[in-house]
Amino acid sequence: MATPPRGQLRLLTCGSVDDGKSTLIGRLLHECGAIADDTRDTLARDSRRLGTTGDAPDFALLLDGLEAEREQGITIDVAYRHFATARRSFIVADCPGHAQHTRNMATGASNAELAVILVDARRGVLAQTRLHAAICALLGIRDMVLAVNKIDLVMFDQDVFERIAADFRTFAAGLALRSLAAIPVAARSGDNLATRSPHLAWYAGPTLLGYLETVEVAEDAAAPFRLPVQWVNRPNPDFRGLSGTVAGGAVGLGDGVVIAGTAMASTVARILGPDGDVERAAVGEAVTVCLADDLDVARGDMLSAPADRPAFADQFAAHVLWMDAAALLPGRQYALRMGTAWTTASVTAIRHRMDVTTREQQAARALALNEIGFCHLATARPLAFDAYAANRRTGAFILVDRTTNQTVGCGMVAYPLHRAGNVHREAYPVDQAARAAALGQRPMVLWFTGLSGAGKSTIAKLVEQALHGAGRHTYSLDGDNLRHGLNRDLGFTAQDRVENIRRVAEVARLMADAGLIVLCSFISPFRAERQMVRDMLPEGAFVEIFVDTPLAVCAARDAKGLYAGALRGEIPNFTGISSPYEPPEAADLVLDGAGGAPEVLAARVVEVVERYQKK
């Protein structure tokens, strides 16, 4: 029995709560015979127990996979469902409709080629409808279907349908869509899903399924060639191939290619597809390319067409959608993945927060969960990329928390920023090694972290005295002192704390570069910022010293009278009271601030310093 050659369409459905998304998908699965008998038995049993449709099967229950969700009656994550017709197989991402799960919609949209936007014919286009359509457009979906559901509940009224369709078209005019179809349906009864409805004689267009089977969503084959190198394939000394999935355009034998951002160029000598040698590879194909020249290429590099190269920069502007409960803070370092490259990055500025529905721009100093901002980012090294509008595969990135490894944000590049290109680092003949040698010591940064009143400064002073006495060259940086000068403009919000530590870190790095042993006493409550300082310095030169004094002891000492004020609510954002402190997970040294005389604790630090100096 021959299987007809089929294509595949990946789509997502979205709409407000109760618009009937799950019912629609469940019904499509049913119509396409994708629901097995035993599953249908389970469905019938579940429908009686959990359903909202009386004795009729509640198709929505098919979709709500996880136990907790079924009991709550809402979908909380993205579920993927499959069904097929003779012409196409479909993968549907079912995305939740409630506003706080914008991130799930973005997740579903990132891999979808088309979006089905559902509205309830009785309620029409809602704020949520517009929000979801705008998110889909932001994520690069250029083809949409407006499914006007529950048309049976408005007596199959053509005027209602036309009004809703016109309403949505007006809004969608700003979304730069390639195609938009409006289709009246009744998901529960199946009207106009797979078969034409006798109640909708006034509607001349295709059924929903008929439309999905034929709508054209192909990627642009004429786009410039891109191949992010995923893996260097070197099974033996005679073969060196660059494996990866073509992310734009196509390449053929003999074509010239360049490594983006370098002067390296070559020609394509061989292309291995899944079944061996081929002459040509196009977007979406997983291949191994051999070049005529043996170039120094690694994972994270990008092969590109010489005539139309990607941008190559370490600063760019992008839309960022934030997906984590802890806000995005400018200046904080995140891991960033773009294509096959991983690096670290920070948001240098939030140009504005965006209301995606109204496109209104608002000033913002941070991005909270589910907020979208237009941001400037800086990466630790330059990357090759395209604008997301030109290429969804090479213009997208994710941001990952470096401590928890949670995916916390995603972004779509708008354009590179070239400022970085004009500011080159100057190299000076007298370098850190020369300066350190002149001082006869190895520069290092001793970083004391802990609650206010933990004893950081007290211990640091004793350490510095001891080192100074031993002929070491030192300098102390202290939170309170710097806030009188360099950091005078900063307050105590989470954003300002991040910026405070970033500046301190830069100063400490300069002083270590000058050859000094730098003692830093800062509450520095966040792991991410302490990690940032560590990353700025050579391996081993950063010593994280956790002055671990219980909150009760610090509060009882209250040398500066701050705890009393904070507990009375007079000092907002006070670490340990109204602002969090994240203790180090792997400090180089932990000092029990309540368990020993400061002199004893200081001696332990001096010991660590002297050990490093003798290495």
- Rounded Cα gap, residues 392 and 386, in angstroms: 8
36 binds other proteins (CB under 8 A): yes
With contacts defined by CB under 8 A, name the span among 199-207, 338-346, 432-440, 477-485 that binds other proteins: 338-346
How far is it between the farthest Cα atoms of the chain?
Answer: 96
Residue 90 is which amino acid?
F
CA atoms within 13 A on the CB side of 393: 20
Closer CB to other proteins, 78 or 146, in the complex? 78
103 binds other proteins (CB under 8 A): yes
Nearby residues of 237 by Cβ (< 8 Å), 6 or more positions away: none
Residues 380-399 that bind other proteins (CB under 8 A): 392-393, 396-398
In which region does residue 276 sit, left (phi positive, over 0), alpha (psi from -120 to 50) or beta (all else)? left
**Judged by CB under 8 A, which of 27, 81, 473, 530 binds other proteins?**
81
Exactly one of 16, 346, 524, 579 is catalytic; name it. Answer: 524
Neighbours of 605 (CB within 10 A): 24
**Binding residues for other proteins, how many (CB under 8 A)?**
69
- Rounded Cα gap, residues 261 and 256, in angstroms: 15
* Min dist. Cβ of residue 255 to other proteins (A): 20
Query: What is the three-class DSSP state of 362?
Result: strand
Closer CB to other proteins, 90 or 546, in the complex? 90
- Rounded Cα gap, residues 564 and 201, in angstroms: 76
Catalytic annotation on 524? yes
Which tokens hold the place of 436?
A: 């350190």
CA triple 111-140-184, angle to 5 deg: 85
22 binds other proteins (CB under 8 A): no
286 binds other proteins (CB under 8 A): yes
* Min dist. Cβ of residue 325 to other proteins (A): 12
The answer to whether the beta carbons of residues 94 and 78 sit under 8 Å apart is yes
- Rounded Cα gap, residues 277 and 268, in angstroms: 12
Closer CB to other proteins, 244 or 576, in the complex? 244
156 binds other proteins (CB under 8 A): no
With contacts defined by CB under 8 A, name the span among 60-68, 471-479, 523-531, 542-550 that binds other proteins: 60-68
236 binds other proteins (CB under 8 A): yes
* Min dist. Cβ of residue 80 to other proteins (A): 5
- Rounded Cα gap, residues 355 and 75, in angstroms: 24
Closer CB to other proteins, 300 or 331, in the complex? 300
104 binds other proteins (CB under 8 A): yes
**Judged by CB under 8 A, which of 276, 429, 469, 485 binds other proteins?**
276
With contacts defined by CB under 8 A, name the span among 64-72, 438-446, 496-504, 532-540 that binds other proteins: 64-72
68 binds other proteins (CB under 8 A): yes
With contacts defined by CB under 8 A, name the span among 76-84, 251-259, 326-334, 490-498 that binds other proteins: 76-84
Q: Please, which contacts does 484-490 make with residues 24 or more away whose CB atoms are closer than 8 Å?
A: none
- Rounded Cα gap, residues 607 and 185, in angstroms: 76
* Residue 256: burial class (beta carbons within 10 Å; 0-12, 13-18, 19+): middle
400 binds other proteins (CB under 8 A): yes
Gyration radius from the chain CA atoms? 30
- The residues annotated as belonging to the active site are 524
Can you give the binding site for other proteins, defined by CB under 8 A?
Answer: 1, 3-8, 36-39, 62-63, 65-68, 76-82, 84, 88-89, 91, 103-104, 106-107, 110-111, 230-231, 233, 235-236, 239, 243-245, 272, 274-276, 284-286, 288, 299, 323, 335, 337-340, 392-393, 396-398, 400, 404-407, 410
